[in-house]
Chain A
Amino acid sequence: DAGITQSPRHKVTETGTPVTLRCHQTENHRYMYWYRQDPGHGLRLIHYSYGVKDTDKGEVSDGYSVSRSKTEDFLLTLESATSSQTSVYFCAISERGGRNEQFFGPGTRLTVL
């Protein structure tokens, strides 16, 4: 299995609080991605990174920001959590993007009350 970890694995928080999710990889892959998965929607891209300090928005980026200060870590921040951000969040990595497969972390289950 690819070396990807996510923390925390579960989190319950209250509306309006900031939340940061961490993705850590040991594969030295260049590309990293954050997705959310909700019933009926499949996986939707929030943000992605194509290198250290190089990030871009995905299709559902409103209310989220990211940072990547080193190759192995990609942080996702919910600036002010809302109940609509209750979801399962997956991090993924890819060696070269493009045709390459993605490998996923175990996910973070976030509940916003």
Chain B
Amino acid sequence: RKEVEQDPGPFNVPEGATVAFNCTYSNSASQSFFWYRQDCRKEPKLLMSVYSSGNEDGRFTAQLNRASQYISLLIRDSKLSDSATYLCVVPPTSGTYKYIFGTGTRLKVLA
């Protein structure tokens, strides 16, 4: 099993739709997670941190399911500007320095 797995997409959704992505992880010791957004040919930018059961920021909600070892990102009322690749990231566990990156899920919001 890969350390972090994401559906590459693309997810094509109309403006105003609600869309959700999942990210599964293999290390049950992982305690926190990040979602990053990456626009084409740009650097990843932090979208949300997930430290416990979940986090909400405006139209974005992240949920953590420890029993099934996945995190999800829900985007409500999608905007054209939400079109990007969303990366799931698992930070290092104790004694390591390695952040584990998913390969990303591509979202296209259509007018």
Q: Do A and B bind?
A: yes
B46 touches A98 (CB 8 A): no
**What class of interface size applies to chain B in its complex with A?**
20 to 34
Q: Does B1 contact A (CB under 8 A)?
A: no
Number of A-B contacts (CB under 8 A): 51
In the bound complex, residues from chain B placing their C-beta under 8 Å from that of A99 are 31-32, 51, 91
Q: Which of B47-87 contact A (CB under 8 A)?
A: 49, 51, 87
A101 to B50: give the CA distance in the assembly, Å: 11
User: Which of B41, B44, B97, B103 is the one whose CB lies under 8 Å from A41?
Assistant: B103
A98 to B97: give the CA distance in the assembly, Å: 7
A32 to B24: give the CA distance in the assembly, Å: 26
Interface residue total, chain A, C-beta cutoff 8 A: 26
Chain B proximity of A85: nearest CB distance (Å): 18
A106 touches B92 (CB 8 A): no
User: Which of B45, B91, B92, B102 is the one whose CB lies under 8 Å from A42?
Assistant: B102
In the bound complex, residues from chain B placing their C-beta under 8 Å from that of A45 are 98-99
Chain A residues close to B by CB (< 8 Å): 31, 33, 40-43, 45, 48, 50, 56, 58-59, 88, 90, 97-107, 109
Which 8 pairs from chain A and chain B are nearest by CB?
Answer: A42-B103, A104-B43, A43-B101, A42-B101, A99-B32, A101-B46, A104-B44, A107-B43
